[in-house]
Amino acid sequence: MNMKKTIEEELRNMNAPAPDITALLDRAMTEDLVDVAYATVDSPVGQLLAASTPKGLVTLAYTEGRIEDVLERLSERVSPRIMEAPERIDTVRRQLDQYFEGVRKDFDLDIDWSLSSGFARKILRATARIPYGKLLTYRDVARKAGNEWASRAAGNALGSNSIPIIVPCHRVIRTGGGLGGYTGGLSKKEFLLDLEGALEV
């Protein structure tokens, strides 16, 4: 068995009738045989893949058509026991919809920080506390994480942020006002900041 495949893929490869697959998937969920549940989410900034563990949301990735790459990364770094389970992602989807509609300014979700560690995790936790519509510089975030001279390390941590939007790395800019980089591309960063009213007209 290829452990990098999701549980759902393995079951489908067995050529079982659809009802049997559904029953097996339901059983896997109820018997806690799944460590990572995922679903795709449509948004104004493109398709996202949201994945959760029992601890909370572990990733929210811009798929850019590379869903398998995201799942393989989760399989290698979190657990190979992965299954598509949209109902487990309903709360994430609902809060994202509210955010993009402009009616939600704070996310109320548990976060699983498994994909970050050390100083990078401190940077991401500091970033998670940046208020809606506010901007901080890389140095500001590094200072909040305990080392104001670690701007480059802050940039690297934000560039590998596995939970963009929810952990709002789009709210971090360069000293002097330049937008800096963004894992989803600058156009997405501009869209999110414009949505939040953070960009000057």
Q: Give a yes or no: residue 137 inside a domain.
A: yes
pLDDT value of residue 176 = 82
Q: Are residues 83 and 167 in the same domain?
A: no
* CATH value at residue 135: 1.10.10.10
Q: Give a yes or no: residue 108 inside a domain.
A: no
Q: Give a yes or no: residue 86 inside a domain.
A: yes
pLDDT value of residue 64 = 84
Count the residues in the chain: 201
Q: Are residues 144 and 172 in the same domain?
A: yes
Q: Are residues 36 and 73 in the same domain?
A: yes
Residue 46, C-beta contacts closer than 8 angstroms, at least 6 positions apart: 62, 63, 64, 184, 188
How many distinct structural domains can be found in the chain?
2
Q: Give a yes or no: residue 2 inside a domain.
A: no
Q: Give a yes or no: residue 147 inside a domain.
A: yes
pLDDT value of residue 175 = 86
Which is catalytic among the residues 51, 123, 130, 169? 169
Along the 201 residues of the chain, how does pLDDT read in single tens digits? Answer: 454 556 666 666 666 555 554 555 555 556 566 899 999 999 999 999 999 999 999 999 999 878 999 999 999 999 999 999 999 999 999 999 999 999 999 999 999 999 999 999 999 999 999 999 999 999 999 999 999 898 899 999 999 999 999 999 999 999 888 898 898 899 999 999 999 999 864
Q: Are residues 95 and 15 in the same domain?
A: yes
Q: Are residues 75 and 147 in the same domain?
A: no
Q: Are residues 93 and 151 in the same domain?
A: no
Q: Are residues 142 and 71 in the same domain?
A: no
pLDDT value of residue 26 = 59
pLDDT value of residue 183 = 87
Q: Are residues 11 and 84 in the same domain?
A: yes
169 catalytically annotated: yes
CB 74 within 8 A of CB 38: yes
Task: Please state the pTM of the whole predicted model.
Answer: 0.83
CB 56 within 8 A of CB 111: yes
User: What CA–CA distance (Å, rounded) separates 61 from 16?
Assistant: 31
Q: Are residues 189 and 140 in the same domain?
A: yes
Domain final residue, candidates 100, 126, 142: 100
**CA–CA distance from 22 to each of 28, 83, 146 (Å)?**
10, 12, 49
Q: Give a yes or no: residue 190 inside a domain.
A: yes
Q: Say how many C-beta atoms besides its own lie within 10 A of residue 109's C-beta.
A: 16
* 31: containing domain: 7-100
Q: Give a yes or no: residue 75 inside a domain.
A: yes
Q: Are residues 69 and 134 in the same domain?
A: no
Q: Are residues 122 and 187 in the same domain?
A: yes
Q: Give a yes or no: residue 109 inside a domain.
A: no
